[in-house]
Chains A and B, each alone.
Chain A
């Protein structure tokens, strides 16, 4: 306040100056210590030649650098399964040297693997939220979080997580308190369990289940109970509608989702996810990978149906009618706050990751390299890359499409996806007969 211009010093000058017809360029008082920005943000100026902008060049360089860095890290580390085997061998030797039984080593190893997978899901929550915010922002000509953490807002989700932990946990008066509290747990536990047989690369799965596919679908089906419970127990009419919609939607979309991968199972001849991924090894004509998505018509159809059904299973736009901010005011999680609310999101992103890994394993050859000449990059990098690509499809669709109506959703499922998934099974049979 003290630097304020003195009226006596200023005013005579102002009075003496002749009245100006045109204004000099206006500018802010720089004494206030503010950053000045004189350009207007018109897209016509900004999009004229983006490569002239240093920030744009920097961003492109950064993206390329990150991808190259990941590939280089992968090449340096090598197959994770080899390291795992070494670690297990060391553990076995360590325990048997001290007179323990191998069962103990197996037990410790199983717990260790379980914890690793659990952390995949938890870290995925942090990563996927940030990535979704970034992707959606750039799709919408925004930049998304940029401040937290300093570097492109990498710490934004961590800060949000802390904020959510500190938020008040509200249980509405009209709610059924026990069911209200139980619902998030019932939603999130199956997604953790469902990750057990998921293959993260060559021989990289927590449990090598022979009925892996069935197990994953069975587990994923449980979550709907939690969502219905959440909708019912909230004591809110909008939540109730959301919960009921979710129930109908999730149960319906299980069917095309399950049937769409029957062709894959027929080709691979196995229900083991790692085996399905392994069945796609090799290259046709020396360059085209033998991935199921490249099987004409059958592969693409199965991929599309599985992708669409997966989007519906994860309650994301264009199938987010259980949440539907503009209609149901977020539906079944309207009345949730703090950590309970974030657990719903954790499970949603967990399912997105699950679907991405399944898509990668079923249709994109799992950890197989897309290039016949590549023997350097390990399978887990490819698997990760493919899964992230699939996750991008989820985000991309979410930020492009409007939302279907509940009855149209059902129509689309029962009258379009399901018949075509049946037809696809027949097509797959014909394909198998011919080849």
Chain B
């Protein structure tokens, strides 16, 4: 009886192309969804639409030129990209950036983390259906981009952090502007909480959706807020400090269940922590040069290999550099957090509703420039 009912009630599944031109795929991701009604039975993320082969390009470019390439991976937060390449190359070249440059690097990376999380906050609002938080977030993001424009002249692809230091010291009025922004921004985060974080509709949409248990998060090698949302405390800034992060006091926000809301909340909390770090850096910015002496125009580091990783806005961003003594790297491998975070999508989406696909995809917070590189 039941088997015949199943047979007669059996409905066709439907294949839906989510992307690459779908408004909520955050770039050119394509997800092939097989749905029964509104339930997902299979999800296949399809990447590669934005592949530019930067790892290969790096093999024919000088080390200074490679910094320009790094800007193009995670174009939403390009400062950590610059930083991680410079850290790896500096290990090869045995150069140490001066203290002021290190402090500026931290400052810029944290500002960029805030900018990137603001973009996440805004677009996640749009994914869930609220348009207004997006423009509020961009209003604040615009100020950070203004600060970047003031310091290095670009708003998106900075090329600010260079081998051995930073491009140039910040202009004299920059620090005051940055403090102005910090003072302005702190109450705004509470407004974001009002507008989205604790909104009952938003919580209903994101809590208990897209659960990633801690064990799964580790075995899929997630990183960044996606990992911390599941309650696993791993932050490169704490576990493997670079650029003097050990000097600044900040907390690593953790989620509890690994739901979309937890991942979202981790990022909002990270914005607060970043602001804390920025305040500390602004309070004790050391004087001195911003560029180490002895960085060659065309560096030819000794043969060897180096691995450096930083806590980028999307997670553990690492670079493995091999030098053969020539002017360009022999091999550059990028551990792109977005790429690894995206992999869990195929498992995470199954059994959810079509609306949840957008919520989950948004909460993973990928940047396709970094996924495809």
Q: Do chains A and B touch in the complex (CB under 8 A)?
A: yes
Give the number of chain A interface residues (Cβ < 8 Å).
33
Q: How far is the CB of A168 from chain B (nearest CB, A)?
A: 20
A401 touches B139 (CB 8 A): no
How does the 8 Å CB contact mask read for B185-229 relative to A, with 1 for contact and 0 for none? 000000000011001011011000000000000000000000000
- B358 cross-chain contacts in A, Cβ below 8 A: 326-327
Q: How far is the CB of A392 from chain B (nearest CB, A)?
A: 15
B204 touches A139 (CB 8 A): no
A42-B143, A317-B129 known; A405 vs B355 contact (CB < 8 Å): yes
Cross-chain contact of B180 among A44, A140, A399 (Cβ < 8 A) = A44
B132 touches A140 (CB 8 A): yes
B298 at the interface (CB under 8 A from A): no
How does the 8 Å CB contact mask read for A2-37 relative to B, with 1 for contact and 0 for none? 000000000000000000000000000000000000
Give chain A's interface secondary structure class.
loop
Could you say which interface size class chain B belongs to?
35 or more
- A41 cross-chain contacts in B, Cβ below 8 A: 142
B195, B196, B355: most-surrounded residue (chain A CB, <10 A)? B355
- A403 cross-chain contacts in B, Cβ below 8 A: 128-130, 201, 205, 355
B146 touches A402 (CB 8 A): no
Stretch of B16-24, B55-63, B246-254 at the chain-chain interface:
B16-24
B318 at the interface (CB under 8 A from A): no
- A140 cross-chain contacts in B, Cβ below 8 A: 131-132, 135-136
- A399 cross-chain contacts in B, Cβ below 8 A: 131-132
B125 at the interface (CB under 8 A from A): yes
Cross-chain contact of A141 among B130, B139, B184, B354 (Cβ < 8 A) = B139
- B146 cross-chain contacts in A, Cβ below 8 A: 40, 42
Task: Name the residue on A nearest B17 (C-beta).
Answer: A237
Task: Name the residue on A nearest B14 (C-beta).
Answer: A237
Cross-chain contact of A43 among B129, B184, B201 (Cβ < 8 A) = B184
- A40 cross-chain contacts in B, Cβ below 8 A: 146
A408 at the interface (CB under 8 A from B): yes
Distance, CA A44 to CA B14, complexed state (A): 51
Q: How far is the CB of A125 from chain B (nearest CB, A)?
A: 21
Cross-chain contact of A238 among B16, B125, B135, B184 (Cβ < 8 A) = B16
B130 touches A401 (CB 8 A): yes
Cross-chain contact of A329 among B23, B128, B199 (Cβ < 8 A) = B23
Q: How far is the CB of A234 from chain B (nearest CB, A)?
A: 14
A43-B139, A405-B205 known; A326 vs B16 contact (CB < 8 Å): no
B353 touches A402 (CB 8 A): no
B132, B136, B181, B184: most-surrounded residue (chain A CB, <10 A)? B132
Cross-chain contact of A326 among B129, B139, B143, B195 (Cβ < 8 A) = B129
Distance, CA A238 to CA B16, complexed state (A): 8
B114 at the interface (CB under 8 A from A): no
B270 at the interface (CB under 8 A from A): no
How does the 8 Å CB contact mask read for B62-83 relative to A, with 1 for contact and 0 for none? 0000000000000000000000
B126 at the interface (CB under 8 A from A): yes
Cross-chain contact of B195 among A317, A324, A400 (Cβ < 8 A) = A400
A402 touches B125 (CB 8 A): yes
B22 touches A329 (CB 8 A): yes
Task: Name the residue on A nearest B134 (C-beta).
Answer: A140
A402 touches B196 (CB 8 A): yes
- A43 cross-chain contacts in B, Cβ below 8 A: 139, 143, 184
- B355 cross-chain contacts in A, Cβ below 8 A: 321, 324, 327, 403, 405-406
B356 at the interface (CB under 8 A from A): yes
Q: How far is the CB of A138 from chain B (nearest CB, A)?
A: 11
Distance, CA A40 to CA B180, complexed state (A): 13
Q: How far is the CB of B364 from chain A (nearest CB, A)?
A: 15
B94 at the interface (CB under 8 A from A): no
B127 touches A241 (CB 8 A): no
B23 touches A141 (CB 8 A): no
A405 touches B204 (CB 8 A): yes
B129, B139, B181, B204: most-surrounded residue (chain A CB, <10 A)? B129
Q: Considering the complex, which residues of chain A in the window 395-417 have a beta carbon less than 8 Å from any beta carbon of chain B? A: 399-408
Q: Considering the complex, which residues of chain B in the window 14-64 have a beta carbon less than 8 Å from any beta carbon of chain A? A: 14, 16, 22-24, 38
Distance, CA A136 to CA B132, complexed state (A): 8
A318-B129, A324-B355, A400-B195 known; A408 vs B23 contact (CB < 8 Å): no
Could you name 12 residue pairs across A and B whose Cβ atoms are closer than 8 Å? A140-B135, A321-B355, A325-B23, A326-B126, A327-B354, A399-B132, A400-B130, A401-B201, A403-B201, A404-B205, A405-B356, A406-B38
